[in-house]
Amino acid sequence: MMKMVKVTLKDGSVREVEPGTTLAGLAAAISRGLAKAALAGRVNEEEKDLSFPLTEDAAVEIITGDSPEGLAVLRHSASHLMAQAVQNLFPGTKLGIGPAIANGFYYDFDSEHIFVPEDLAAIEAEMKRLTKEGQAYVRKELNRADALTWFAGRGEPYKIELIQDLPEGVAISTYTQGEFTDLCAGPHVPATSAVKVFRLMNVAGAYWRGSEKNKMLQRIYGTAFVKAAELEEYLLKLEEAKRRDHRKLGQELDLFSLHEEGPGFPFFHPKGMVLRNELENFWRLEHRKRGYQEISTPIILNRELWERSGHWDHYQDNMYFTKIDDEDYCVKPMSCPGGMIIYKTKLRSYRDLPIRAGELGLVHRHELSGALHGLLRVRNFTQDDAHIYMLPSQINEEIIGVIDFIDYFYKVFGFAYHVELSTRPEDSMGADEVWETATQALREALEAKGIQYKLNPGDGAFYGPKIDFHLRDCLDRTWQCGTIQLDFQMPEKFDLTYIGDDGQKHRPVMIHRVIYGSIERFIALLIEHYAGAFPTWLAPVQARLLPISERHHEYAGEIAALLREWDIRVEVDERREKISYKIREAQTEKIPFALIIGDQEAETGTVSVRRYGQSDAGEKLSAEEFRRLAAREIKEKTRA
């Protein structure tokens, strides 16, 4: 009698199928709707094609396009389809890599033809033609020698390099649709007909394997969705993102500028400094409330310090260097080592711990010129770094305290977020058991708070695992900002000690953490999140007085003086322009309050208050009434 294969589904139910039943067959047996929506499957946590046969008992999940995993499979398949179209239209093009990424996919090409935006329409048309043919994605496994021979015969040097870099014993597979074959681990959708909704977005340059030492390839970006409505929504969000672009708004609102004289080194203008200072003032206030002490450490420190910390071995490519008195010095890429020097300036007792030390430290990191992007990716930035030195018994409490602190900050600004736990990377230092202890401590803190988190294997810092906070903005984009890193390594490297209750020296444990991430990057996110219309407490100009004619200038000046005494940031627009023009200008500059002054207001000692975004002037208020209104919004950090 044939032994049936037991399949445990995601909901815990168990089905029996004949040996050799494919994932597609299983989906069809469950329901017609699931069979139609299925794109791939997961067998014992490994993603597989729908053609994969079930030969032994397994936990199985059918992957559909309404899941992140299904969308990634669809987009990866779309990248292969695009590569096929490119080689059809531009023979001789050599293939780099073509992965699915957040919001889409890309493929890197080495071609004598220089791709221009006009080429994208032709490539899209060829992709649509291939889609209609419904070519199957067929997997084939090869040994190393056969794989090298196959791609050598087709003149694909980049594929050969990838194969040569694979560890011995790793299964090598290709996927073929029609006459196109690519090196790929998969999985893929069953056929090109499943890739129906896509759009090619733009062309960019990209160094092969991300190294500027390698050849510059041409990268074509695209996106794909299951439904046309989803693509339309995504394209609308992209248009909105262009409108909110912090580089555009930063210039229009006179906040900052970027110049060829210092690529990657931003210049902050007076209004930008107001915004920056408000963020820093808020940071200082909230840190004082929670027992942090502020410190400052030098920007340039001796090479020996960075060798001791491990940065010289693990971070050297991202650092700047100089010589002083014929000795090597480094411009700091982070503030940790300097903070530890301060810790060592005196003997510490267990009664002193935890010590919470915060620094708004200017750091410099070498970024490739092609990676620079406004304030989001710069070469110098102010990191709101803090270090907590603590007893091993205080780890859980301190981590939870930082989690609560970060949560409070992000709620003030209106950011939702998700959390990732990043574990030991390949390029790391320290013993396995120390890493496991640190990782477990972070995991226990997250579970104690009831926070759901995603595991991000291998993405920890070289000295310890970390919890990363990824902000979600109003366009559903995510940005990694806050982080909590638990470190047993640096206290060892720097011989940090405290005197315990037994009178002996012991080693403290460290937390490295940031909340903003960097002031510059956070400002970029705020500009785009608020579309430049900052809440009153952050706005560089909180109110602008708009006298209707010159005879109202004196009264406007009196009101402005009062508001300045009350610490409200105010301007007076005394230009000889029509009041309608002045109002439009205030709206364009996204000033929270426009205060209109005419004969009636001057006679009654009031101002007509018009909020940003309102089409009509609001109520008339006295200067004192407006002060109370603005002061309440500033104190409560009200968001519009």
Catalytic residues: 336, 365, 383, 385, 387, 466, 512
DSSP 8-state symbol, 551: G
Q: What is the dihedral of CA 236, 610, 535, 272, to 10 degrees?
A: 90
Residue 285's Cβ-count burial label (10 Å; 0-12, 13-18, 19+) is: exposed
Contact in structure between 320 and 504 (CB atoms under 8 Å)? no
Estimate the crossing angle of helix 553-565 against helix 623-636, to 10 degrees: 40
Task: Please give the Cα distance from 256 to 269 (Å, whole number).
Answer: 5
Q: DSSP H helical segments within 207-265, as ranges? A: 228-244, 246-252
Cα angle value 155/157/159 (rounded, 5°): 105
What are the backbone angles phi and psi of residue 268, rounded to the nearest 5°?
A: -100, 130
Q: What is the dihedral of CA 343, 345, 347, 350, to 10 degrees?
A: -10
Task: Please give the Cα distance from 608 to 379 (Å, whole number).
Answer: 45
Contact in structure between 364 and 379 (CB atoms under 8 Å)? yes
Find where tokens 């050598």 sit: 152
Contact in structure between 413 and 529 (CB atoms under 8 Å)? yes
Task: Please give the Cα distance from 138 to 191 (Å, whole number).
Answer: 9
Task: Please give the Cα distance from 353 to 289 (Å, whole number).
Answer: 17
The count of C-alpha atoms lying within 13 angstroms of the C-alpha of 581, restricted to the half-sphere facing its C-beta, is: 8
Beta bridge partners of 499: 349, 505
Task: Please give the Cα distance from 556 to 579 (Å, whole number).
Answer: 14
Q: In angstroms, what is the C-alpha Rg of the chain?
A: 30
Find where tokens 């029609």 sit: 178
**Strand ranges, E, within 335-432:** 355-364, 380-390, 416-422
Preceding amide of 187 cis, omega within 30: yes
Here the tokens at position 508 are 């403290």
Task: Please give the Cα distance from 354 to 398 (Å, whole number).
Answer: 8
Here the tokens at position 269 are 């203008």
- How many CB atoms sit inside 10 A of residue 387's CB? 25
Beta bridge partners of 60: 43
Beta bridge partners of 597: 547
Residue 339's Cβ-count burial label (10 Å; 0-12, 13-18, 19+) is: buried
Nearest in space to 467 (alpha carbons), one of 503, 515, 429: 515
Nearest in space to 338 (alpha carbons), one of 316, 358, 352, 353: 358
Contact in structure between 120 and 203 (CB atoms under 8 Å)? yes
Spacing of C-alpha 372 from chain mean position:
14
- How many CB atoms sit inside 10 A of residue 135's CB? 18
Q: Is 339 helix (H, G, I), strand (E, B) or coil?
A: helix
Q: DSSP H helical segments within 351-463, as ranges? A: 395-413, 432-448
Contact in structure between 184 and 175 (CB atoms under 8 Å)? yes
